[in-house]
Structure 1
Amino acid sequence: MSFETIQLETDSRGIATLTLDRPGKHNAMDSRMMVEIRDAVRGLDADSAVRGVILAGNGPSFCAGADLGWMRDNFARSREERIQESDVLSTMLHAMDTISKPLIAKVHGQAYAGGVGLISVCDIAIGVPEARFSVTEVRLGLTPANISTYLIARVGARNARRLFLNAHFFQGDEAVQYGLLDKVVPAGELDKAVEAEVRPLLDCAPGAVAMTKELIAFVRTHDAEANRRHTAVLLADCWEGEEAQVAIANFFDKKPPPWTVDDD
């Protein structure tokens, strides 16, 4: 699969790096980029050799949000076409949020509007103190419609009010306070910090990781009784599964499980 607006590489360990690649536009997303991100993520999700995905941006910024040229083009479209274009963004975010592999954001430079939305669908987000964030939609007569589902889930309604209503600009340390980022590190240590999140994934059972991502999504959207019933069945499913049986047998035999990757 070839792309025009992103780069996609997978290393020998099964760690993929999806890099937004419109550096001259600060990686602002047009319709083509959204489709390419969506299709790439779906492909990574279906690839059993992929163990995790790093999301990064080429050039001076992570992602400056949606391309305003794309926004302007939608003014001339019909109502039905506008909804279809908005749905391109919506389906991209959904694909990223529901990918069965851990998704890790590596954030630098600008992350505005839809760029903040990209961070919010990642499982882990590491950035630099100088990174600059804002949910800028209301400055442009818009509302953060498609990203709101994911961003409110990540930072909570209280912080969403703080960030959505006046397009507050903030940097890395404040992003950690809101829960948008998990950690900030000096720019020279960003790659090392992301690798520190990646490496432990390679000791974890891929099927169990995928099941646990589904578990988190289920539990956050169901009540206590539904969760009780679901989780009782889920643990029984694990006991019946090959991964748990192999891993626990290997534990007693003092052997590593077969999915562990040796970097040496």
Structure 2
Amino acid sequence: MPMKHAIQRPETLTVDRDGRGVVRLTINRPEIRNAFDGTLIGDLTATLEGLAADDGIRALVLTGAGAAFSAGAELGWMRASAEQGDHENFQDALRLAGLMKRLDDMPMPTIARVNGAAMGGGVGLTACCDMAIASEAAVFALSEVKLGIIPGAISPYVLRAIGPRNARRYFLTGERFDAAAARDIGLVHEVVPAGRLDAAVDDLVDELLAAGPKAVRAAKDLIAHVAFREIDDLLIRDTAQRIAGQRAGDEAKDGLGAFLEKRKPGWIA
């Protein structure tokens, strides 16, 4: 196993990085099922900001400590936010929306390791990651309507993952659904027995590490720029420029040469 070292972070989080440049970011509040409040939102946003600036990170795995992935917003914090003035209430909501945007925009590939319950904002975190693997024991809910609220901050990312038709059911009923249903509607990519969760995540990480690190980041950026755009001359020129630029780089020359010469490229140890 690659050597790991812990990065100093707030008590709400643990961050471990191995020698391959793989980071595991764990929400470390098992006593409240890794629920959000203002402190966690600030800590997680700041930590993601720091990680985003690190070009050496090859993959980021997000998970929760204990039995839950994340129970979403902590009820006491939500009640306190609602009792503030309009401006303060809006600012709290904006900070949660900013966290989701920061996770969605991470430049390296991100994997949600959904080890248990993912409720409300926990569904949002799952949808913001590029890939998601869930334990068979995981359960999901967009339960906001049960509390008289709506999944506003997470809605762009969850809708993109599950589509409007599924959102019309799960946003409106707030019902719980299991990991198999989450896979069927597109929220997670794979469901595995709890005992195989780490192995499944490791398999996915291995696939990422076998690809060119610059190419992986460029491919992620390509998706963000191409998705849902009209296929017009401007888009065609942009995509042509992207592949031309990537192809002319040292990483592509090494990768293509390695394939033709039947050797490993330089990014594989």
TM range (shorter): over 0.9
Aligned with residue 12 of structure 1, among 5, 14, 19: 19
Gapped runs of 5+ residues in structure 2?
1-7
Give the total of aligned pairs: 261
Deviations 1:154-175 (A, max 9, x none): 1111111111011121101111
Q: Secondary structure at the match of 1:133?
A: strand
The CA distance in 2 between the partners of 1:120 and 1:156, in whole Å, is 12
Amino acid of the structure 1 residue aligned with 2:195: G
1:49 to 56, 67, 74: 56
Indicate whether 1:242 and 2:261 are aligned: no
1:94-109 pair list within 5 angstroms: 94-109=101-116
Question: Distance between the aligned counterparts of 2:96 and 2:162, measured in 1?
Answer: 20
Q: Distance in 2 between matches of 1:234 and 1:132?
A: 40
Aligned to 2:3: none
Distance 1:197 1:75 in 2: 40
Amino acid of the structure 1 residue aligned with 2:53: A
Unaligned runs of 5+ in 1: none
Residue 154 (structure 2) aligns with: 147
CA distance in 1, matches of 2:64, 2:168: 27
| Equivalences for residues 168-207 of structure 1 within 5 A | 168-207=175-214
Query: Where in structure 2 are the equivalents of 1:1-264 lying within 5 Å?
Result: 1-225=8-232, 226-261=234-269
1:100–1:209 CA contact under 8 A, matched in 2:
no
Residue type of the alignment partner of 1:69: G
Confirm or deny: 8 A CA contact 1:111 1:132 kept in the other structure: yes
Describe the superposition over 1:185-242 as per-residue Cα deviations: whole angstroms up to 9, x where unpaired: 1111111111010111111111111111111111114211143222111111112222
RMSD: 1.3
Does the CA contact (< 8 Å) of 1:55 and 1:104 recur in 2? yes
In structure 1, how many angstroms separate the alpha carbons of the residues matched to 2:250 and 2:101?
29
Compute the TM-score of the two structures, normalised by the length of structure 2: 0.93
How many Å separate the matches in 2 of 1:91 and 1:258?
37
Percent identity among equivalent residues?
Answer: 39
The one-letter amino acid of 1:199's match is: D
Shift of 1:32: 1.3
Secondary structure of 1:146's aligned partner? coil
Bigger RCO (CA 8 Å, 6+ sep): 1
Q: Is the 8 A contact 2:63 2:113 kept in 1?
A: yes
**TM-score of the superposition, structure 1-length normalised?**
0.95
Partners of 1:23 and 1:134 in 2: how far apart? 19
Offset at 1:251?
A: 2.5
